[in-house]
C-alpha cells in the first residue's frame, strides 16, 4: 500500500479536541505523536494515523515521548526495560523512517503543550490507555493547547477499539465475547506498510543521552533491579512470538491449552506480557500470526486468542468504564456486600505488608510465588490467582487486600501497572468478571483457592524447588554484577 494513504479505520480514532475552523481543512503546522502506551514503530495504528494525517496535508511529523519522574511506583526493573526498548526504537526510527524523536522529562501536561507551541503543530495524536492518570493528562492537554490544535486519540492497543467493543461496563467474558468476535472481521486486519513521511522535519530533534538516562533510572529505582532474562525491544518481542529457537508460536504453542495452568511449566505460556504491556509488540500482530497456525493447533490457538483478545480487552473495558477499577468500590454490589459481611471474620493469620513483601508467611507455596515475582519479575499466571486470594485471607479486610496486592504487583512485576493487573487483583479479591460461589468465612461468596487444591492440580513441591533455583541464580547474578561493577570502578579510579 502507498505511504500516502495507509488508512486507519475511523472507528479506531477519537477526536478529543477539534481545532477552530472547518474540520476538513488542511493542517498548517506539523503533526506530533505523543507516544505513551504503544512504544513501537511496527504495527502501530497511532503512528500510522499520525503519518497519514501529516502526508494528507504535506506537513512533517515527529514523535514525542515524556519520561515521568514517577509513574505508579515503577522501579529500575520497569523503567530500565522501557528505556532500553525506546533506545532501540530511537535508532530504528532514524534509520527506517526519518522521523525525529523528542524526549522530554517532567510532566506531560507541561512538556507536550510547550513542544506543540514551539513547533507550531496543528495536530497531536496520542495512543490510548484507560488508566485514570493518562485520561486526566489528556483532559488537561485539551484545555492547555491552543485553539488551533486538534487532538486525536487512537486505540492502538486493543484489536477492537475499547469504545466500540462495548459501550458499557461488561459483566464478564461471556457478555463481551460475542461483541468482540462480531467486530473482528472489521478490525483484525493486516497493517499497511509504513514508509517515511513525505515531508521532512527540518529542525533537529537533538540527541538523547540514553546511557545517562538509563543510569539515572537504575540508580533511583535500584530497590527493584532489572531482569536479565527478558530482553527489551520490538525485535526481542518478535523473537518471543515467533523466533526459530524459542518462539511461542514456532516452538511452544502446542502445549498452551494443556499446560498453561501448570506453574511447573512456565514455558508453556507465551511470555508476551512484558512486551504487550509496554506496547513493544501489538496484540493484533500476535493474533494475526497465531491465526496462521490455527490449522496445526486449533485448540491451543483458540485458548490463546481468548486470553489475548477477550480477557485482555475485557480488562481495558473494566478500567475504561469503571472509575473505581482498583478499589472495593469498583466491585459489583453482590461482591461488596459479601465481602463487607465477612470483614470481621476471624483470620487465622494476619500479616503486615512488609511481612508479605518479604515472603514471611506460613505457606511455602505462597512464599515461593512472592519470591518468583520479587526476583524473577514475572509470577506464573496460575499462581497470581492463588497469591492474590491469600492476601485477602491474610489482611484485615478487602480494601487492604486490594491495596496491598496492587502495590506488590505494580512494584515487582515486569508487566505490572497494567489494566490486566488491576483486573487480576479485582477478579481474585472482589469477584470482578466472576460469579458468586458457596459462602465461607472471610471470602464470603468470592471464589476460594487453597493449598490442598493446588496440590491436587500440580507438583507444589516441584514448583517451590524450581523457584528456589531461579531465585538462587538471580541472586548469584546480582552478586556477580556487584563484584564486576566494583572492579570496574577500581580500575577507573
Ligand X SMILES: Cc1cc2nc3c(=O)[nH]c(=O)nc-3n(C[C@H](O)[C@H](O)[C@H](O)COP(=O)(O)OP(=O)(O)OC[C@H]3O[C@@H](n4cnc5c(N)ncnc54)[C@H](O)[C@@H]3O)c2cc1C
**Binding-site ranges for ligand X (CB under 6 A):** 260, 269-273, 276-277, 307-308, 311-312, 315, 381, 384-385, 388, 409, 413, 415-416, 418, 420-421, 424-425, 427-428
Please answer whether residues 485 and 493 qualify as being in contact, where contact means their C-beta atoms are separated by less than 8 angstroms: no
Q: Which is nearer to ligand X, 90 or 278 (CB)?
A: 278
* Shortest Cβ 399–ligand X spacing (Å): 16
**Secondary structure (DSSP) of 124-178:** EEEE----HHHHHHHHHHHHHS-TT-EEEEE--SSSS-HHHH-SS---SHHHHHH
User: How many of the other CB atoms lie within 10 Å of CB of 123?
Assistant: 26
Q: Which is nearer to ligand X, 52 or 410 (CB)?
A: 410
Q: Which three cell numbers stand for residue 459?
A: 507438583
Q: Which residue has the cell 459481611?
A: 341
Q: Which is nearer to ligand X, 112 or 310 (CB)?
A: 310
Which residues have a Cβ under 8 Å from the Cβ of 118 and sit 6 or more positions away? none
Q: Which is nearer to ligand X, 66 or 257 (CB)?
A: 257
Q: Which is nearer to ligand X, 140 or 306 (CB)?
A: 306
* Shortest Cβ 479–ligand X spacing (Å): 28
* Shortest Cβ 382–ligand X spacing (Å): 8
Q: Would residue 361 be called left, alpha or beta, if left means φ above 0 and alpha means ψ between -120 and 50 degrees?
A: beta
What is d(CA 101, CA 208) in angstroms, rounded to the nearest whole number? 9
Q: Would residue 377 be called left, alpha or beta, if left means φ above 0 and alpha means ψ between -120 and 50 degrees?
A: left
* Shortest Cβ 87–ligand X spacing (Å): 23
* Shortest Cβ 13–ligand X spacing (Å): 23
* Shortest Cβ 60–ligand X spacing (Å): 34
Q: Which is nearer to ligand X, 138 or 311 (CB)?
A: 311
Half-sphere exposure of 69 (CA within 13 A, CB side): 3
Question: Is the sign of the CA dihedral 427, 415, 44, 83 positive or negative?
Answer: positive
Amino acid at each position: 500500500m502507498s505511504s500516502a494513504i495507509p488508512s486507519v479505520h475511523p472507528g479506531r480514532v477519537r477526536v478529543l479536541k477539534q481545532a477552530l475552523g472547518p474540520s476538513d481543512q488542511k493542517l498548517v503546522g506539523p503533526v506530533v505523536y505523543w507516544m505513551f502506551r504503544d512504544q513501537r514503530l511496527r504495527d502501530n495504528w497511532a503512528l500510522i494515523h499520525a503519518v497519514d494525517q501529516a502526508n494528507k496535508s504535506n506537513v512533517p511529523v515527529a514523535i514525542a515521548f515524556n519520561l515521568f519522574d514517577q509513574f505508579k511506583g515503577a522501579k529500575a526493573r520497569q523503567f530500565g526495560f522501557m528505556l532500553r526498548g525506546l533506545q532501540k526504537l530511537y535508532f530504528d526510527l532514524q534509520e527506517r523512517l526519518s522521523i525525529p524523536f523528542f524526549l522530554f522529562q517532567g510532566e506531560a501536561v507541561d512538556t507536550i503543550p510547550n513542544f506543540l507551541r514551539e513547533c507550531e503543530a496543528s495536530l497531536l495524536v496520542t495512543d490510548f490507555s484507560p488508566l485514570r492518570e493518562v485520561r486526566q493528562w489528556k483532559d488537561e492537554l485539551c484545555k492547555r493547547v491552543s485553539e488551533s490544535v486538534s487532538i486525536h486519540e487512537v486505540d492502538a492497543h486493543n484489536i477492537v477499539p475499547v469504545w466500540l467493543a462495548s459501550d458499557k461496563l461488561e459483566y464478564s467474558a461471556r457478555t463481551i465475547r460475542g461483541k468482540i468476535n462480531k467486530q473482528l472481521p472489521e478490525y483484525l486486519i493486516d497493517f499497511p506498510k509504513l514508509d517515511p513521511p513525505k515531508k521532512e522535519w527540518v529542525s533537529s530533534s537533538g540527541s538523547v543521552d540514553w546511557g545517562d538516562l538509563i543510569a539515572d533510572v537504575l540508580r533511583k529505582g535500584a530497590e527493584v533491579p532489572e531482569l536479565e532474562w527478558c530482553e527489551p525491544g520490538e525485535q526481542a518481542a518478535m523473537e518471543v512470538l515467533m523466533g526459530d529457537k524459542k518462539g511461542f508460536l514456532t516452538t511452544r504453542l502446542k502445549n498452551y491449552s494443556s499446560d498453561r495452568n501448570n506453574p511447573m511449566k512456565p514455558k508453556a505460556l507465551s511470555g508476551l506480557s512484558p512486551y504487550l504491556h509496554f506496547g513493544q509488540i501489538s496484540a493484533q500482530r500476535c493474533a494475526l500470526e497465531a491465526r496462521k497456525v490455527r490449522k496445526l493447533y486449533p485448540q491451543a490457538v483458540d485458548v490463546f486468542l481468548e486470553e489475548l483478545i477477550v480477557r485482555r480487552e475485557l480488562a481495558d473495558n473494566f478500567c475504561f468504564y469503571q472509575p473505581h477499577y482498583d478499589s472495593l468500590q469498583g466491585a459489583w454490589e453482590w461482591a461488596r456486600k459479601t465481602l463487607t459481611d465477612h470483614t470481621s471474620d476471624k483470620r487465622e493469620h494476619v500479616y503486615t505488608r512488609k511481612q508479605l513483601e518479604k515472603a514471611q508467611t506460613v505457606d511455602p507455596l505462597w512464599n515461593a510465588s512472592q519470591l518468583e515475582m520479587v526476583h524473577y519479575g514475572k509470577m506464573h499466571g496460575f499462581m497470581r490467582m492463588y497469591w492474590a486470594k491469600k492476601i485477602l485471607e491474610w489482611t484485615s479486610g478487602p480494601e487492604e487486600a486490594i491495596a496491598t496486592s496492587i502495590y506488590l504487583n505494580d512494584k515487582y512485576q515486569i508487566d505490572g501497572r497494567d489494566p490486566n493487573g488491576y483486573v487480576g487483583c479485582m477478579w481474585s479479591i472482589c469477584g470482578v468478571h466472576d460469579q458468586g460461589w458457596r459462602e465461607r468465612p472471610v471470602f464470603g461468596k468470592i471464589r476460594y483457592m487453597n493449598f490442598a487444591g493446588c496440590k491436587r492440580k500440580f507438583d507444589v513441591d516441584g514448583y517451590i524447588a524450581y523457584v528456589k533455583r531461579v531465585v538462587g541464580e538471580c541472586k548469584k547474578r546480582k552478586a556477580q554484577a556487584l563484584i564486576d561493577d566494583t572492579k570496574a570502578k577500581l580500575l577507573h579510579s
